[in-house]
Amino acid sequence: LGTARLIDGYNRAMPIGERISPRRALLGVLIALFHDSGYVRRNGDRAGNGAAYTLSHVQRSGELLERILTSLGFAADAPLAGKIVHFTGYEMPLDAIDVHDPRDRALGFMIASSDLMVQTADRCYLEKCRDFLSPEFEVAGLAGPPQPGGPKPLYANVDVLMRGTPEFNAKLWEDRLDGYFGGIHRYFGVHFEGRYGAPDPYTDAIKANLRRMKLAIRSGRFDALRLRPRADDASCMRNALGLPTEELAAAA
């Protein structure tokens, strides 16, 4: 939804020849929908938890996208999608992403900007960092004690992760949102208010979350964050699809 809104704001503001075409826009929404699909375990994967693929999930997402898009009538665009999705991750330097058409790069910037802003605007963002992201990082070897043969942990524990959240967000804005991606997120203002750079609900929610986090840091009471984010697990997906377990496995 964030990607679709940002594409809309961008197209309203740009000259006709520089707008994102309907087909390219649909491709962008599909990339956004599947950009984290690399966390999903495949038949034959040895990992007991998809979080083990944190450091390789973008490449895996690109591979899955290329297979899926071919079956959806986007075969010609599948290799491009496998490249664009890398704007959402850190598995390769942004300058190394082989996407040269200015409209495709703009699309990548919008998908990546939406990814960063929508998740940090979530009203349960802080609780998700504490309850979901920290355990996920432990599985990936990025938090907690070092794992044999694993990466160097970035966070000793959940307390360190939470206290580092404001600095992490500031770096996202400096390096990516207002940096490499050229402030393309400001087209949200066109979608919501009709003008570039106007206030938008995502930015407002992010600022509110950061104020809330700073209060929690001052008090040292991360347990006082009391919202309860819902985890949509495999059983939720089965129910949503209306498929029994064995049918879902066969479909996968």
Report the pLDDT value the prediction gives residue 127, as an integer from 0 to 100. 96
- The string of DSSP letters for 235-249 reads HHHHHHHT--HHHHH
CA distance linking residue 63 with residue 213, whole number of Å = 36
Instruction: Over range 161-178, report the average pLDDT.
Output: 97
Reported as a single tens digit per residue, the pLDDT across 84-138 is: 999 999 999 999 999 999 999 999 999 999 999 999 999 999 999 999 999 999 9
Q: Is residue 250 pLDDT above 60, yes or no?
A: no
Amino acid letter, residue 182 = G
Pick from 11, 10, 60, 17: which is nearest to 35 by CA? 60
Report the pLDDT value the prediction gives residue 108, as an integer from 0 to 100. 98
Backbone dihedral angles phi then psi of residue 155, each to the nearest 5 degrees: -135, 125
Report the pLDDT value the prediction gives residue 235, as an integer from 0 to 100. 80
Q: Is residue 229 pLDDT above 90, yes or no?
A: no
Sign (positive or negative) of CA dihedral 141, 144, 146, 152:
positive
Q: Is residue 244 pLDDT above 90, yes or no?
A: no
Specify whether the CB–CB gap between 94 and 112 falls below 8 A: no
User: What is the average pLDDT value for the chain, to the nearest integer?
Assistant: 93
Q: Whole-prediction pTM value?
A: 0.92
